[in-house]
Chains A and B, each alone.
Chain A
Amino acid sequence: MASVTFHDVEKAFGTVKAVDGVNFTITEGEFVCLLGPSGCGKTTTLRLIAGLEKATGGNIQIGDLDVTHLAAKDRDIGMVFQDYALYPHMTIGENIGYPLKVRNVPTDARATRIGEVAKNLQIDKLLERRPGEISGGQQQRTSVARAVVHEPQVFLFDEPLSNLDAKLRLEARSFLKHLQREVGVTAVYVTHDQAEAMALADRIAVMNEGRIVQMAPPLEVYHRPGTTFVANFLGSPPMNLLPGKVALDGEPRFVGEAFTIPMQSHVETAVRQHLSDGAQVTVGIRPEHLDLSQDPVSGGFQGPLYALETLGPESLVTLKVGDELLTVRIFSDDAPQLADTVHAAFDPEKLHVFRENGERIPVE
């Protein structure tokens, strides 16, 4: 088990910087998810840790060892690939044992260890089969087994659940969480699925355009998104973001094209500290923090109904506020007979405020 540290790490492919000055420390035993849209550099970051890419700048440490220039084979890493990369010409047992074989572990010791790991992952009945003869979920477990068999320093996952169907994915997710608790090894996990990141991570690193935008525990990322990008990326559906202006003359409030939101006193304090009158801002409010109302609410939103989507126990109501869309999440049982004009109220404590450049104003 070891920590992983990045110092100003850069990776350029030609003129494109896939990873652009990344710094972080992942402590021993921590489970970190790299989360972001495709092309954000999360997979490249993972491959830099693995040694499958060579950094073009900065340095990388695993434990106390500087591994920046070390080949993949010398880094003592276990990695689960998106397509599992199970060798088709080897049995499941041989696949799992391959890292031990290249370490010249004697056959008996190897067999014992393979048996142990396979039992733990509940694939011990499959050791004689070939990868093509087992299910997707079993293949995924095999690749996890192969990654843990030699008790590596760091455990890397490259979207390991993305090839599973929805039901299996949830099962495998719980299993991975369980496994990580049990083994307690340092893990870095790449995903574009925010639910996966939320469920698994001790800390989430949200990446965009080769940089880490925010790195914090899941609830922190959810409740205090550092930027509009993070706010928009996490949550399902994502946070409603509406452009507006700060108005400090008279009653302090945010004024948008089709709404006016009075500021709570703590919000006003924060705004006065960071912004001046008339500054452009983005206000954010999560769909789950909005509620429908029969009558107009002061400081709330109103607009024509745009869409009503029933998702089972919950429903999404979208209304048009000026040119923007505002989504409200409600319990389906509470779904009212909707009129042409919908009113929505929100909990003012849950309001998020971002500068024009997207940075969060700490309003708590």
Chain B
Amino acid sequence: MTRATRTPPSQAQRAARFVLGRITFYVGSSLFAAFFVLPLLWLTVAPFSTLANLDLRLPDPWSLQNFERVFENGFAIRALVQNSMIQGFGAMLLVTLTATLAAYALSRANIPGTTAITYGLVLFSSVVTGTAAMVPIFLMIVQLGLIDTHLGVILVFTGGLLPAAVFIMRDFVDSIPRSYEESAMVAGASSWRVFRDIALPIVRPGMMVVGVWAFVQVWGGFLIPFILLRDADKMPASVAIYSFYTEAGTPLITLTAAYSLLYTLPVLLLYLFVNWRYGFRFFGGIKS
């Protein structure tokens, strides 16, 4: 066997390699950053410009006039602060509560085949997607008399988001040592008290994450409200944004941009909140 010989790099070589490495890193980072930032740049300045321009330039003068005009559009504002909120919070509450209960049972009761159930659900939910199943979902909501209601939208979102929510939540509950509940049982607490006093407070961070996730999904969701709602008074912002489009389907650029910014704000704030509070990351179980 021959032994590969390697001359150790000289100091100058090492310095050169280091500089080269730094340069590669900065150039690469800039390219990645550019790829993600450039498409959004225009949207961050356009709302403050009085000119309906699509090219990227600083507003001259900076103005809040677009926002004033957006606020004059009662329909779009109601969609944002009322309808999107009702649908987002409604689905968030339902998803979080039912997913927490189910995930807790999957983790803590000896239900046979729990892992198979969880994985089966997640897979099945990725098979029966909102797009593939839009016809039966629409027909079902018609049949239930829930067409054109907030409740219909909330229920459909809840059903669609639940499997993934249960999956995330179960991972979270599984990561909590059983000794918390066991010590409460030994201390003399009934099952209900164990759940209320111990389990629920301990899984609260998981519930927060799932809740925020569900809210963001519903907040940004377009297709479901688009096909389930007819009445303008119930449209969420994702659909109402098209009130800033002309009949021909082209947007009134300044107003749409301003509205887009308002509409995105809650999602951004929630993301920053979650990132600050819990760190935005994946829980372990998603890997296999």
- A contacting B, Cβ–Cβ less than 8 Å: yes
Chain A contact residues, CB within 8 Å of chain B: 50-52, 71-79, 81-83, 85, 87-89, 98-99, 102-103, 143, 146, 150, 156
CB-CB < 8 A to B190: which residues of A? 73, 102
Q: Apart from A98-B197, A102-B193, list 11 A-B contacts with CB within 8 A.
A: A52-B185, A72-B186, A73-B186, A73-B189, A75-B186, A78-B186, A79-B183, A81-B179, A102-B184, A102-B190, A156-B186
* B182, B189, B201: the one within 8 Å of A102 (CB): B189
Kindly state the separation between the CA atoms of A73 and B193 in the bound complex, as whole angstroms.
11
Q: A52-B182, A81-B183 are in contact. Are A150 and B188 (CB under 8 A)?
A: yes
What total of chain B residues lie within 8 Å of the partner, measured CB to CB? 18
The 4 residue pairs across chains A and B that have the minimum distance between CB atoms: A85-B179, A99-B187, A85-B183, A89-B201
Chain A residues closer than 8 Å to B119, beta-carbon distance: none
Contact A72 B182, beta carbon cutoff 8 Å: yes
CA distance A79 to B179 in the complex (A): 10
Report the nearest A residue to B180, measured CB to CB.
A85
Is residue B198 within 8 Å, beta carbon to beta carbon, of the partner chain?
yes
Per the 8 Å Cβ criterion, residues 194-234 of B in contact with A are 197-198, 201-202, 204
**A102/B202 contact (C-beta < 8 A), A83-B177, A85-B177, A87-B180 known:** no
- Contacting pair A87 B186 (CB below 8 A): no
On chain B, the residues within 8 Å of A156 by CB distance are 186
Q: List 20 A-B contacts (CB under 8 A).
A: A50-B182, A51-B185, A52-B186, A73-B185, A73-B188, A73-B189, A76-B188, A81-B183, A82-B179, A85-B177, A85-B183, A87-B180, A89-B201, A89-B202, A89-B204, A98-B184, A98-B197, A102-B187, A146-B183, A156-B186
Interchain CA distance A71-B187 in the complex, whole Å? 11
CA distance A83 to B181 in the complex (A): 12
Majority SS of interface residues in chain B? helix
Which residues of B lie under 8 Å from residue A98 when comparing CB positions? Answer: 184, 187, 189, 197
Q: Which residue of A lies closest to B187 (CB)?
A: A99
Interface residues of B (CB under 8 A from A): 177, 179-180, 182-190, 193, 197-198, 201-202, 204
B183 cross-chain contacts in A, Cβ below 8 A: 79, 81, 85, 143, 146
* Given contacts A85-B179, A87-B201, A87-B202, A79 and B188 within 8 Å (CB-CB): no
CA distance A89 to B201 in the complex (A): 7
Cα–Cα distance between A99 and B185 once the two chains are bound (Å): 9
Is there an interface contact between B188 and A51, defined as CB atoms closer than 8 Å?
Answer: no
Using known A-B contacts A81-B179, A85-B177, A85-B179, determine if residue A51 contacts B186 with beta carbons closer than 8 Å.
yes
Min C-beta distance of A61 to chain B, whole Å: 18
- A75 vs B197: C-alpha distance when bound (angstroms): 20
Given A73-B189, A98-B187, A102-B193, check contact A87 B198 (CB 8 Å). yes
Complex CA gap A215/B106 in Å reads 40
Closest residue to B200 on the A side, CB-wise? A89
Q: Which residues on the A side are within 8 Å of B189 (C-beta)?
A: 73, 98, 102
Q: Which of B187, B189, B197, B198 gathers the greatest number of chain A CB atoms within 10 Å?
A: B187
Q: What is the distance, in angstroms, from B132's C-beta to the closest C-beta of chain A?
A: 41
- Min CB–CB distance A39 → chain B (angstroms): 18
Q: What's the nearest-Cβ distance from chain B to residue A75, in Å?
A: 8
Contacts of B180 in A (CB 8 A): 85, 87
**With A and B bound together, what is the CA distance between A150 and B183 in angstroms?**
14
Q: Give the docked Cα–Cα distance between A146 and B186 (Å).
A: 11
| Complex-state Cα separation, A146 to B188, whole angstroms | 12
* Chain B positions within 8 Å of A81 at CB level: 179, 182-183
Report the minimum CB–CB distance from A18 to chain B (whole Å): 16
**Taking each of A51, A77, A87, which has the highest tally of chain B beta carbons within 10 Å of its own beta carbon?**
A87
Q: How many whole Å from A152's CB to the nearest CB in chain B? A: 9
Q: Which residue of B lies closest to A81 (CB)?
A: B179
